[in-house]
């Protein structure tokens, strides 16, 4: 099993909490230290509840985190393609929202109009 997304998000959590230990991660995510060790060693991926908690602790989009983790666990090509499409659509939607916010907020921040 490819656990690169799990490892990536654990690294983000460690960085966010000043290089915290597996024990501290276990406390933050309400799991056992052995569970964190299995994640860190790539034996299993993060479950949905732990992933959602991690996203919340790190200020990340939980939909993106959960989708990447489901993609990591996907066994069939069709399932992988589905989650890749969800990630693509999520990214596009965020880009539209950010562009719209920039259009309306830029004049307030910079003093220049966007027209």
Give the pLDDT of residue 27. 96
Two tokens at 113? 């109009």
State the DSSP string of the chain. ---HHHHHHHHHHHHHTTS--HHHHHHHHTS-HHHHHHHHTTSSPPPHHHHHHHHHHHT--HHHHHHHHHHHH--SHHHHHHHHHHHHHHHHHHHHHHHHHHHHHHHHHHS----
Give the pLDDT of residue 90. 78
pTM above 0.85, yes or no: no
* pLDDT of the chain, 115 residues: tens digit per residue: 678 999 999 999 999 999 999 999 999 999 999 999 999 999 999 999 999 999 999 999 898 899 999 888 988 999 889 888 888 887 766 645 545 555 555 555 555 554 5
């Amino acid at each position: 099993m490819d656990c690169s997304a799990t490892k990536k998000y654990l690294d983000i959590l460690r960085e966010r909490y000043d290089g915290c230990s597996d024990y501290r991660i276990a406390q933050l995510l309400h799991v056992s230290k052995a569970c964190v060790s299995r994640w860190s060693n790539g034996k299993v991926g993060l479950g949905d509840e732990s992933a959602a908690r991690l996203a919340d602790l790190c200020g990340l989009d939980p939909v993106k985190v959960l989708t990447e983790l489901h993609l990591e666990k996907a066994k069939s090509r069709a399932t992988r393609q589905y989650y890749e499409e969800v990630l693509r659509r999520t990214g596009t939607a965020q880009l539209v929202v950010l562009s719209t916010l920039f259009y309306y907020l830029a004049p307030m921040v910079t003093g220049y109009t966007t027209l």
